[in-house]
């Protein structure tokens, strides 16, 4: 058996290769190039007229509020699309009493779409020779297009001196009544605002009822109204008038109030 001698292994040490300065700078140059490109792109988006806002599309805005909505969003026109302050326009619109909520979105290259959800109509009011729908705050929403298939499009009429305050008071009362007693609300055909209070026509009982003009008194007015409805048949049997009543007072019902107190209207 032969033996062999193997000398100890030697490790080959290769000389270190020095990186060239140019190669060492490449990552830095790449990062700088990307940053410059991003900055140039941002400048193009910010200043190039091709990316400026040229159209503001309004969705869900009532006809009567179109000019008001345009005034609130006109500041967006001409601004850079990606840098335009949409939140400011949305906040401005959301402060309007007729707006339930608002939102906005961008459409490249040059359009902003503003979506508005207006408060629903609660009544009708005369505006000149036309009937307009109004919301809970008395804000004009637009011309009444007539009753549609749904009974939800059949609204009480707010009448009176014709000023904004009268419409506001009548609409606020109807909203409070609807929230507290939908059955009584469904019986209302019109509300006339007078200096003495609100004259409500109960279309089912064919009677005119004088109620407090304070919307906060709607629950008490509803209770008194129901008490009068319970008494009305007995009043008729006794020969007492059952087509008019003053319900403004706690625990008291006045029948046959003077015509000047009830104001004008139909029963």
The yes-or-no verdict on residue 46 having pLDDT over 80 is no
Contact by Cβ (8 Å): 232, 207: yes
CA dihedral 245, 248, 249, 252 (to 10 degrees): 10
| CATH number of the domain encompassing residue 137 | 3.40.50.11690
What is the structure's pLDDT at 190?
A: 94
Of 116, 103, 14, which is closest to residue 66 (Cα–Cα)? Answer: 116
Q: How far is CA 82 from CA 18, 37, 44, 108, 194, in A?
A: 47, 17, 11, 9, 53
Highest mean pLDDT among 8-12, 34-38, 144-148, 232-236: 232-236
Tens-digit pLDDT profile for residues 134-157: 988 888 888 887 765 455 567 999
- Give the Cα separation of 145 and 132 in Å (integer): 9
Q: Which domain holds residue 113?
A: 49-118
- CA distance from start to end of the chain: 135
CA dihedral 85, 100, 212, 223 (to 10 degrees): -150
90 and 160 inside one domain: no
Tens-digit pLDDT profile for residues 50-94: 668 899 999 998 887 888 899 999 989 988 888 889 999 999 999
136 and 90 inside one domain: no
168 and 215 inside one domain: yes
Q: Answer whether residue 68 is part of any domain.
A: yes
User: What is the number of structural domains in the chain?
Assistant: 2
Of 187, 195, 185, 190, which is closest to residue 163 (Cα–Cα)? Answer: 195
Two structure tokens written together for 83: 């840098």
């Amino acid at each position: 058996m032969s033996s062999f001698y193997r000398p100890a292994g030697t490790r080959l040490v290769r000389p270190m290769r020095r990186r060239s300065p140019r190669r060492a700078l490449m990552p830095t140059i790449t990062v700088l190039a990307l940053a410059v490109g991003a900055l140039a792109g941002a400048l193009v988006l910010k200043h190039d007229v091709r990316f400026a806002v040229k159209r503001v599309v309004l969705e869900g805005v009532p006809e009567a509020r179109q000019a008001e909505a345009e005034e609130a969003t006109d500041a967006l026109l001409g601004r850079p699309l990606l840098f335009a302050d949409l939140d400011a326009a949305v906040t401005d619109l959301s402060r309007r009493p007729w707006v339930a909520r608002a939102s906005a979105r961008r459409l490249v290259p040059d359009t902003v779409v503003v979506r508005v959800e207006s408060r629903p109509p609660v009544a009708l009011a005369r505006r000149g020779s036309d009937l307009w729908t109004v919301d809970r705050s008395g804000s004009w929403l637009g011309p009444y297009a007539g009753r549609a298939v749904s009974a939800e499009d059949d609204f009480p009429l707010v009448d009176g001196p014709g000023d904004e305050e009268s419409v506001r008071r009548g609409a606020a009362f109807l909203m409070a009544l609807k929230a507290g007693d939908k059955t009584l609300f469904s019986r209302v055909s019109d509300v006339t605002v007078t200096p003495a209070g609100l004259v409500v026509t109960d279309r089912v009982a064919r009677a005119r009822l004088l109620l407090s003009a304070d919307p906060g008194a709607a629950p008490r007015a509803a209770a008194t109204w129901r008490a009068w409805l319970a008494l009305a048949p007995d009043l008729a049997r006794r020969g007492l008038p059952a087509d008019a009543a003053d319900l403004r007072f706690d625990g008291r019902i006045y029948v046959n109030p003077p015509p000047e107190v009830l104001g004008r209207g139909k029963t």
